Structure formats: C-alpha cells, structure tokens
Amino acid sequence: MTTPDVDVLVTRARAWLAEDPDEQTRAQLAELVAQVEDGAPAAAVADLADRFRGTLEFGTAGLRGALGAGPNRMNRVVVMRAAAGLASYLREQGAAAGSTVVIGYDARHKSDVFARDTGEVMSGAGLTPLLLPRPLPTPLLAFAIRELGAVAGVMVTASHNPPQDNGYKVYLGDGSQIVPPADAEIAARIAAVGALASVPRVPIGETGGRVLGEDIIDSYLDTVAGLAADGPRDLEVVYTPLHGVGGTSVVQVLETAGFSSPQVVEAQEQPDADFPTVAFPNPEEPGAMDLAIALAERSDADIVVANDPDADRCAAAVPGPDGWRMLRGDEVGALLASHLLQRGKRGTYATSIVSSSLLGKLAAAAGQDYVETLTGFKWIGRLPNLAFGYEEALGYCVDPEHVADKDGVSALLLLCEVAAEAKAAGRGLPDLLDDIAVEHGLHATDQVSVRVSDLGEITAAMARLRDAPPTALGGLAVLEAEDLSVGSAALPPTDGLRYRLADGARVIVRPSGTEPKLKCYLEVVVPVTDGDVDAARAAAAETLAAMKTDFAATAGI
C-alpha cells in the first residue's frame, strides 16, 4: 500500500479527535498522532493510514471490524453515524414517528455503550428505542422484533470474531437480517450523515423509549422450551458458552424442558470480552472445545454442546470408539432435519449452497419442499413457509415462526432431545447418522479455510480459478464449472465458484463475508454397500483428502 501524505493523515485524525466523544479512543488516537508527528517509524504511519484510508463497509452483515479510533474501525462515532443512517432509511421507508426499534448487545468490549448510543440516536430521530436489559443472545433480539412489532432491530455483536472486534447487525421488521438492496440504501444514508454534532441524540427515556424488563426474556425462553416434545430426558450434558452470553439462557431452557442441569465448563461460564481460554471464540476452531471435552471425559457425559459468544450457533461433540469427536455442522443439520421430519413438520427445508446436499434428499423422501440459498441466514430466514433451515457453519433455525434467524439455544435443546431419545433406545447420535447414510448414501463434507493477512491474496486466487478452472479434483472429473458472480434464475450474484463433479460430488469456493479467509467447501457422496458405513466413510475420506490437495495446487494458496 502506498502511504498517504502524512500531513493529510494527521489533518484527518485531528478532525476525528474533535468530534470523538469516547475518552479512551480519543486518547489512543492522540498518542498515535503525536508519535507520527515526532517522526515515528513506518509502522505507526501505516497504522494511522489504515485507520483513515476509508470507512468500514456497511453491507448485509452490517458492520464488523476491530475496535479503535478512525472511520475504518468500530467506535462510537462510526456506530452513531450508522444509527443515524439507519434511522433515516427507516423514516424514508415509511416508519411513523414513535415506531419502535429493538436494540440488543452481547458482552464484548463497548457493546453496551454502542447499544446505548444507538438508542439515543433513534430517540433523536423520532423513533422509540427499546433496549434489551443486559447482554443476551442474538436470537433473543430477533425474537423480540416480531414479538414487540418493531420496525427494525439492531444487535451489537461480532459473533465469534476475535476479542478485538465488534460489530453491528441490522434486522428489519420481519425479523430477518437485511439483504440487498436495503444494505446499499442504508449505506447511502450513512454516507449522507453530516458532522456528528448534527446528529440529534436524546436520552431514551425522554421520548418513550425504555430498557425492557425480564418479560421479553421469559417469553423467549418459554417459547424455546416449549419446542421440546414429551419424551426421554435421561441425558448427561456438558455445556460451554465459550465466555459468551448463552449460559443462563441455555441452562434455564434445558431445565424448563425437563432435562437435568448441564455441567458447565467453569472457566468459560461467565461472559468475558477477552475470551482468555481460547485462541478464537469459535467452536469450529481447533482447541475451542478442549476444556468441554476434557470435562466430558472426566464425568462420563453423553454429549457436549456449545454456543458461540452471541449464542446464535450451536456445536456438539459425541463419544466414539476413538474418543470424542466434533460433529460437523452438516451432521447436526441432518439430525435436526430428520427429527423434525419424523415429527411431521411440514414446509420448506432450506440450506445454503455451501452446505451438504443431503438435506434435499431428506426433504424429498418426506415429500417436503427444498430450497438452496446463498450463504447467510439473511437469505434462509426470509424464505416463505420455512420449516427448517441450516448452514454448515453451525447455524440452525428450528423455529422460524418465532425466530427468522439461526438460534443456538433452540437448536441445542432439540439436539439434546434427539440424543436423549437415541440413548433411551440404546443408541447414540453416530448411530442415527449411520441410518441416514444407509438410506441416502454417505454425504461427507470438509472444508479448506485459508486465513490471509493481505486480501489481495484472495482476489488473486479467485482470478486464477476463473482463468483456469480445474478439470478434475480428487480423481473426479469436473462436469460443470459455474461462476456464481453472474447470478442465475435461482440465485442472486455472489463472489463464488461452484464445481459439479462426477458421482454427485461438488466444490464451492468463496471469500468469507466476515473474516479475511478464502473458503473452499467440499462434498462427496458414497453409496453404502451391504450396510458397511465404515467402508464408505474411509473411501470418502480418501477422496476428500485428494480433493483438498488438488484444490490447493489449483488455487495457488
């Protein structure tokens, strides 16, 4: 990157300092500016340039980025401008004066401050802010939007990002996350916001806004607990919220539904914005579940379940002949879908294009509709007549009538219900997965995820793949190479590539929407002969390993 003129950088930084209401970020930036003016090393100039080289882009994921001063960071100035732009958009779309906006937040650094600032800006714009009373799960915010008849909702969260990040997720009145063109229209309104001093801010109590009481929390938790049908409840559960906000909600829901209180990983039980026991607070990341699995091994548990920090995702691990293993998101999705189908839940069963194709076969066998969407619950959650939706990245929607988004609390409850029913029959979740494989073929999935420090590496890799698509991967011929950026009748355009391979296999490549990663999703389908699932699994593992090697060579990353 070419370093901008230092004088211009300092001028921008001083203008920012003049309007930043946050004492902490103001002090950090003032120190950095002083270092640069005193002839600081190139690293300090590069830091200042990175903070002021542009602004955090507002998109379908809202805002997400590292905390700190400057327009390219998450801070009070950026948040208040985003809130003002959102308020302007809502009024432009017909929201009447006094319309309610629900605001929730997780336990990350500054989340409560950003939520309060958002409420004051909404109040200043003539809308009525309703703040959730404490750090709570993201799905509770999605529930509250519908339950309270709000025109929109804001959740301050960075989900499972590293501790230095925070974010700002926007929902509209249907309880679903925003999709195009709303994202671009909101971004335009944010860009049109003038100086921060011109943004009216009014204490939330002066215009009818308020901090909500426990009623909305109890309503959500009772609704979730009511999803569990009568049945076996003998299940030893180990649970971790990974230092996030799911702990009290999950324990209450399980107990209300008739399960024994889970054993909670003590070191990860309380919300902690620094996430001290994990490198990344994401149950998908290696090591994140180690403490929970160790507790399960000591206590002879039947299942380990976990949420990510804002509790909209659910992870699980089960014991096996070779020790405990994590269930893949596609496996949990198949178990939940099969459970709901057996219950007779009718409607559309949906997943994203990067998830296993197995859901389509399960739905077809039960005579239910099946839909594939782009990646993201912003697409799944708004489908009409949705019965169940999931993504391989541990996101599941089991109660779309109440939460049109992924919900790690309700998914966790139903997975425990499935596990308890299996235990009562002398079986485990892996046995149920084997049953599905015998009937529909073994659908094995895997992922290659490459984290980069320079986003240009991802752009270059995608360009290489577009210029020279592979003709075979893992010994399977590529039957079709599809550039998803051009769109189709079924899918809007997105930056991605899809390869359809022989024998029902497929590969999808896309940049991550929330992290500096290039992701490759692989699936192979292997028939199960004479009930020998182990043989099918071994064959699938061999093919997936070969596909990984071939993809890495082709992408050059």
**pLDDT confidence of residue 3:** 53
Question: Among all chains, which residue has been given the structure tokens 């860009």?
Answer: 191
The whole-model pTM stands at 0.94
Q: Name the token pair of 352.
A: 């994203």
381-430 pLDDT tens trace: 999 999 999 999 999 999 999 999 999 999 999 999 999 999 999 999 99
How many helices (H) and strands (E) the chain has is answered by: 17, 21
Per-residue pLDDT band at 1 (split at 50, 70, 90)? very low
Least confident of 61-65, 130-134, 144-148: 61-65
Q: Name the token pair of 126.
A: 């003539």
Question: Among all chains, which residue has been given the structure tokens 């599809």?
Answer: 482
pLDDT at 30 over 80: yes
pLDDT at 39 over 90: no
- Residue 509 CA to residue 528 CA, distance in Å, equals 28
Per-residue pLDDT band at 2 (split at 50, 70, 90)? very low
- Residue 356 CA to residue 372 CA, distance in Å, equals 10
pLDDT at 17 over 90: yes
Q: Is 316 left (phi over 0), alpha (psi -120 to 50) or beta?
A: beta
DSSP state of 209: -
3-class SS at 34? helix
Which CA distances in Å does 32 have to 29, 68, 217? 5, 12, 43
**Closest C-alpha to 525, from 419, 448, 436, 393:** 436
Q: List strands edge to edge, sheet with 152-156.
A: 63-66, 165-172, 152-156, 100-105, 128-131, 210-211
Q: Is 392 left (phi over 0), alpha (psi -120 to 50) or beta?
A: alpha
**Which residues are the active-site residues?**
159
Average pLDDT, whole number, for the chain? Answer: 95
Q: Beta strand pairing status for 263-264 and 303-307?
A: unpaired
503-534 pLDDT tens trace: 999 999 999 877 788 999 999 999 999 999 99
pLDDT, mean of residues 475-493: 93
Q: CB–CB of 464/456 below 8 Å?
A: no
Residue 209 has φ and ψ, to the nearest 5°, of -70, 165
- Residue 432 CA to residue 434 CA, distance in Å, equals 5
